[in-house]
Amino acid sequence: MNVLTKPEVIGSIEEMRSRLTDARSRNVSERVERGEAGLGRPRIVLVPTMGALHAGHLTLVRRARSLGDIVVVSIFVNPLQFGVGEDLGSYPRTLEADVAALAVEGVPFVFAPTNQVMYPDGAASTRVSAGSVGSLLEGAARPGHFDGMLTVVAKLFNIVGPDVAVFGQKDAQQVFLIERMLADLDFRTRIEVVPIVREDGGLALSSRNRALEPAQRAAARALSAGLEAAASVAGQGAEATLQAAHAWIDAQPLVKLDYLVVVDPLTFLPVGALHHGPARMLVAALVGHTRLIDNVALNLP
């Protein structure tokens, strides 16, 4: 794909809203000129990211372009979702490279606010609570993470006003909590979830993968291999899937398992041995100092 034009990088909330109002008006005018009036209000699609974009992010962007008329990619490393001792300071920030990649994808707008713009009074005193599910799994390992994530997502939705927002399936618990927030708080935005994009060898793409040394990267492939093994024996029930995944993951000394669990996608709570129907296996582990997550859908008999 050829570079169409460099995206507008916008840092202020007021300018972002103004540019989207102008873009919608321009889109309507262009439709009229082409004789396409009556197609409805131009649709805005948002892809929220923390930057350090990789092929997985760009897959989300391509999906966004197919879903609407005006695409906005937000790039903001949200401090509210990092806990004490986490990698906020070292999280990769590659705005110039990110904008160049988005230019190739034909993205017109990049919303890249500073902390001061998003939280002018410091840490937001009003936050969205993720509830009890937000304290499980990733929430247990990263207390407050999901409250911070939901808070910034709610802010981004109020700033951009998207008709659709695109997220990746890799962050399955995040997707569940966002969908629940939208239902509970009556947001008009619809969520589109894109399947996990993987490296050769199966490792789920993540901005954190760049921190892996070669031996660690090879060991980390046990996560996706374990999930694949679990899916292959799903017909034998939940316990069999867990045993199959453990056989791969536990064999890797460089992988320190945090959790491996099968949950009900409707509640995100762990299933019992007799559960039947749709389920999802989730895994999180430390490989060196890098925390990785992955998941796979299961259909248990």
Which residues form the catalytic set? 57
Pair 142, 37: CB distance under 8 Å? no
**Measured between alpha carbons, how far is 35 from 227 in angstroms, rounded to an integer?**
51
**Measured between alpha carbons, how far is 130 from 150 in angstroms, rounded to an integer?**
7
Pair 220, 249: CB distance under 8 Å? no
Structure-token match 């939705």, residue found: 157
Residue 18 burial (CB count, 10 A): 12
Q: What is the dihedral of CA 290, 205, 79, 269, to 10 degrees?
A: -90
Sequence-separated (6 or more) residues with CB below 8 Å from residue 98 = 51, 52, 53, 75, 110
Where are the alpha helices (H) located in the chain, listed in sequence order? Answer: 13-33, 55-67, 95-104, 115-118, 138-141, 145-160, 172-185, 214-232, 238-249
DSSP 200-260: TTSPBP-GGGGG--HHHHHHHHHHHHHHHHHHHTGGG-HHHHHHHHHHHHTT-TTEEEEEE
Tell me the HSE value of 69 on the side-chain side, using a 13 A CA sphere. 17
Coil vs helix vs strand at 166: strand
Pair 69, 46: CB distance under 8 Å? no
Instruction: Say how far residue 182 (Cα) sits from the centre of its chain.
Output: 15
Coil vs helix vs strand at 268: coil
